[in-house]
Amino acid sequence: MKVIVFGASGMVGQSVVREALRDPAVSRLVLVGRSPLTIQSPKVQQWVLPDVAQLDSIEAHLSDCDACFFCLGVSSGGMSEVRYRSLTYDLTLRIAQTLARLKPGMTFVYVSGAGTDSSETGRSTWARVKGATENALLRLPLQAYMLRPGAIQPLHGVRSKTLAYRLTYVFAAPLLPLIKRWWPDQITTSERVGRAMLALAAHGAPRHILETRDINALGA
């Protein structure tokens, strides 16, 4: 498989890159981002673009890829809905529409989140915008899958770029065994998320919206 990753520096992006590097079925890993990453592997091809939605210069390197893992995301905290929608809905759709034109039917895995609002009518800004993004992606000529993980336990050196999230993981660590025991469908690991994404690229799934329990089953 030849796969594309947008947002490889984030926690989920790191997770799928790690698993893709370890997976012999992945022959090429195309990373698209705003800054270079220090990853040394003959599988990896990096493209650094000031605007990651402007793909004209690298279209020839994307058109033969089998799947795209879209891991870009920002927090809606302190941001207007117009700005958040621009960085979430608009950016994602520009990239997905380009890939749909280059290779209709490409697998496109979008990392959303637990609580995403498919009705697009709820009170939560992030949930409405994520729901609108999911709905728009599912209408494109792509084999699109929406991942809605809840809590993600980082493993193997994977870490969030957001300080608040890193601190949360540190303080929550002693509670993880209890959470896994009593609420197993509310928590997954970075390893399982990465494996689940690769499983979708390789085999697909009967459901196109995947909650934590689905992610755990695919990534087991």
Q: What is the pLDDT of residues 178-209, one digit of tens each?
A: 666 666 667 899 999 999 999 999 999 999 99
What are the residues whose beta carbons fall under 8 Å from the beta carbon of 104, sequence distance 6 or more? 141, 142
The angle at the Cα of 191, spanning 185 to 195, to the nearest 5 degrees, equals: 90
Residue 40 maps to which CATH number? 3.40.50.720
What pLDDT is stored for residue 207 in this prediction?
95
Q: Which whole number is the average pLDDT over 23-41?
A: 94
The greatest distance separating any two alpha carbons of the chain, rounded to the nearest whole angstrom, comes to 49
- The boundaries of the domain holding residue 157 are 2-219
Structure tokens that stand for 216 in this block: 């755990």
> Does residue 150 or residue 132 have the better pLDDT?
132
Reported as a single tens digit per residue, the pLDDT across 83-128 is 999 999 999 999 999 999 999 999 999 999 999 999 999 999 999 9
What are the residues whose beta carbons fall under 8 Å from the beta carbon of 119, sequence distance 6 or more? 131
- Report the C-alpha gap between 24 and 21 in whole angstroms: 8
What are the residues whose beta carbons fall under 8 Å from the beta carbon of 95, sequence distance 6 or more? 6, 52, 53, 55, 68, 70
Residue 184 is classified by DSSP as G
Nearest to 194 by CA among 94, 82, 109: 109
What pLDDT is stored for residue 173 in this prediction?
64
- Residue 177: pLDDT over 80: no
Task: Read off the pLDDT band of 152 (50, 70, 90).
Answer: confident
Number of domains in the chain: 1
